[in-house]
């Protein structure tokens, strides 16, 4: 049986807290990676700290979404970090996605579909005329055309996306300890059949070691 795979979201600017998260997340029951988003990467010492990490699976979640040249420059500027995964918004367009993939080197490029904090009504307010499922299906096809390495989608789109996109699927919007915070399209961890789960505050708040043990128990049932 394959080990469940979980990215622990290090959503903080505190180096002390991040070190604690990494030190207390050790387990042989789950494959653990660490996700660093805008909050940490934009902090005073965030980037420098990530550059020192060795022997860890590192996911930098910047959700790049800009002009082609700007995105290319950003990806090139990150290659010295030796990270494993990097997110880009699929809404940046097929040309940008293909260009980023070409210069990414060993970094796996993850396409971000509709955010898990959005629902059908939110999409209408933004100006989309598609439902969440319709939009995510369309974005999955674009990710496939661009030869991206992985895709982010909510738990509710995983089975649909698998029929379109045959590589890694990474899923936020994970309910654990009955907490899902600001996610509108979430599901219990044990019910999600993606390649990687992303869990943050439900693990990193409180006793991290105990939370990891509880998570492992839930995922391996």
Q: Report pLDDT digits (tens) over 152-210.
A: 999 889 999 999 999 999 998 777 756 555 555 555 666 678 899 999 988 999 999 99
Could you tell me which of 129, 34, 23 has the C-alpha nearest to residue 81?
34
Domain boundaries, the chain: 5-219
Does the pLDDT value for residue 44 go beyond 90? yes
Catalytic site includes residue 63: yes
So what's the pLDDT on residue 177? 58
So what's the pLDDT on residue 201? 87
Q: What backbone phi and psi angles, to 5 degrees, belong to 9?
A: -80, 120
Find where tokens 């989608």 sit: 153
Could you tell me which of 156, 164, 116, 117 has the C-alpha nearest to residue 139?
164
DSSP-assigned letter for residue 176: B
Q: How far apart are CA 26 and CA 145, in angstroms?
A: 37
Does the pLDDT value for residue 218 go beyond 90? no
- Is residue 58 within 8 Å of residue 34, measured between CB atoms? yes
What is the overall mean pLDDT for the chain? 92
Instruction: Give the dihedral sign, CA 162/167/172/178.
Output: positive
Any idea which fold 5-219 has? TIM Barrel (3.20.20)
Find where tokens 């700290």 sit: 49
What would the pLDDT profile of 2-18 be if each residue is shown by its tens digit? 889 999 999 999 999 99
What proportion of the chain, given as a percentage, has pLDDT over 70?
92
What is the arithmetic mean of pLDDT over 128-157? Answer: 96
Does the pLDDT value for residue 104 go beyond 90? yes
Which of 27-41, 166-180, 205-219 shows the lowest mean pLDDT across its residues? 166-180
Q: How far apart are CA 42 and CA 143, in angstroms?
A: 27
Find where tokens 């979430």 sit: 186
So what's the pLDDT on residue 112? 98
- Is residue 116 within 8 Å of residue 183, measured between CB atoms? yes
So what's the pLDDT on residue 135? 96
What would the pLDDT profile of 110-126 be if each residue is shown by its tens digit? 999 999 888 999 999 99
Does the pLDDT value for residue 27 go beyond 60? yes
- Is residue 112 within 8 Å of residue 135, measured between CB atoms? no
The catalytically annotated residue of 3, 17, 29, 63 is: 63
């Amino acid at each position: 049986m394959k080990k469940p795979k979980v990215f622990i979201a290090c959503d903080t600017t505190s180096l002390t807290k991040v070190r604690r998260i990494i030190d207390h997340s050790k387990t042989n029951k789950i494959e653990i990676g660490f996700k660093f988003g805008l909050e940490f990467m934009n902090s005073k010492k965030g980037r420098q700290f990530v550059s020192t990490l060795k022997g860890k699976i590192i996911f930098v979640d910047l959700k790049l979404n800009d002009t082609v040249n700007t995105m290319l420059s950003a990806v090139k500027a990150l290659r010295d970090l030796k990270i494993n995964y990097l997110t880009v918004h699929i809404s940046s367009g097929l040309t940008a996605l293909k260009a980023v993939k070409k210069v990414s080197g060993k970094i796996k490029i993850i396409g971000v579909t509709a955010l898990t904090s959005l629902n059908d009504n939110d999409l209408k307010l933004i100006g989309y005329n598609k439902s969440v499922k319709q939009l995510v299906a369309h974005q999955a096809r674009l990710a496939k055309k661009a030869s991206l390495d992985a895709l982010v989608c909510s738990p509710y789109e995983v089975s649909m996306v698998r029929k379109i996109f045959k590589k890694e699927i990474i899923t936020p919007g994970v309910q654990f300890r009955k907490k899902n915070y600001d996610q509108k399209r979430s599901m219990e961890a044990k019910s999600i059949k993606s390649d990687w789960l992303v869990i943050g505050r439900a693990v990193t708040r409180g006793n991290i070691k105990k939370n990891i043990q509880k998570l492992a128990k839930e995922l391996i049932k």
